[in-house]
Amino acid sequence: MTYVKGNSIFYIGLTIISIIWGINFGISRWAMEVFTAEVFTLLRFGLAVPILFLILYKLEGSIKVEKRDLLKLVIIGFFGVTILELLVMYSIKYTTLANASLLNVAPWPIFAALFAPLFTKEVMTKRIVLGGAIALIGVTLIIGGGSDNLDLSGQYMLGNLLALAVSLIGALFNLACMPLMKKYSPLRVSTWYILFGSLFLIPFTLGGWSDIHWSTLTLPVVGAILYNVILCTVVAFLVWNASMNRVGATKANFYRYVVPAAAAVAGALFFNEPIMIGQIIGAIIIMSGLVIIGAEKKQLEKEGTVDSQQKVAN
């Protein structure tokens, strides 16, 4: 039972980070009125880099990684930060918000489960499949039940494909971190790939700095930047990677289904967007599915305890 109690804090962490990311859909709108999407993304990750390295040095006494692992971190940073974040932006540009929300999120855990055996020794259990399927239904209800309707017609094909690529690359990005996190701490891995991802973002921002009117930096805009740097990047990446490293990438990524539910709440709080009854039902269904996934280890442990008792009795 000790193991399960120890893991419960990581499931709570995954849920909280997904809420933080979901709320950011609303908060980031304030900053996007001042900055281009590319510049804002660079600010988010670039400003987080010195903070991460300082934390890393203070907590672990060094910042080094072996030279043979640097190329892996470069590749992870390029695809997991630079390409992934740019794909998110362009998928939203070339398809509807509802389409992007669904395709950016829903297939991600499924891809993670499919490709997990290539990177880890994780096993897909019936409980994870059941919980994931239930949570997926909830996600579909939240996104499909919003004010923006899903539209999978041909005119949005490019955007839809880009959104689907987000899920695929995002899942592979998470899985590629797992072997490195067996060797280094999640903090060290996150710090280095965010550094490289930020450097690769710089060329995409060169045309955007001249359009910034710095006099328009209001308190909400500054708050949005700080929220993105501190909570959405520094705290979120560290907690998410540490939790994913503990519970496994397959189970952890299903908790991304909390993101659209939190985004719907943020829209209601900040922009008076209505929350439909279908979205409320969807949120309840998502949490039900995640409870099933989170209880999977507990169930296995109970079964193992019973087997052990039977062996002793025999």
Question: What are 57-68's pLDDT values in tens digits?
Answer: 999 999 999 999
pLDDT recorded at residue 45:
96
Report d(CA 17, CA 83) in Å as an integer.
Answer: 21
Closest CA to 175 of 121, 115, 234: 115
Residue found under tokens 């289904």: 257
User: pLDDT tens for residues 207-245?
Assistant: 888 888 888 788 888 999 999 999 999 999 999 999 999
Six-digit token string for 60: 């672990």
Joined together, the tokens standing for residue 66 give: 């072996």
> Which residue type does 42 have?
L
Average pLDDT taken over every residue of the chain: 85
CA 4 – CA 142 distance, rounded (Å): 30
Cite the DSSP H helix spans in 78-106.
84-94, 97-105
Closest Cα to residue 170, out of 245, 115, 242? 115
Contact 125, 113 (CB under 8 A): no
Q: What length is written for the chain?
A: 314
**Cα–Cα distance for residue pair 117/106, rounded to 1 Å:** 20
CA 80 – CA 171 distance, rounded (Å): 9
Q: Tell me how many degrees the CA angle 24-25-28 measures, rounded to the nearest 5.
A: 70
Q: d(Cα 211, Cα 225) in Å, to the nearest integer?
A: 17
If one compares 151 and 15, the residue with the highest pLDDT of the two is 15
- Whether the pTM exceeds 0.85: the reply is no
153: left (phi over 0), alpha (psi -120 to 50) or beta: beta
pLDDT tens for each residue of 124-156: 788 888 999 998 898 888 777 665 556 666 677
pLDDT confidence of residue 170: 95
The answer on pLDDT for 272 being more than 80 is no
Lowest mean pLDDT among 33-42, 105-114, 272-281: 272-281
CB-side neighbour CA atoms (13 Å) of 258: 21
> What's the whole-number mean pLDDT along residues 305-313?
39
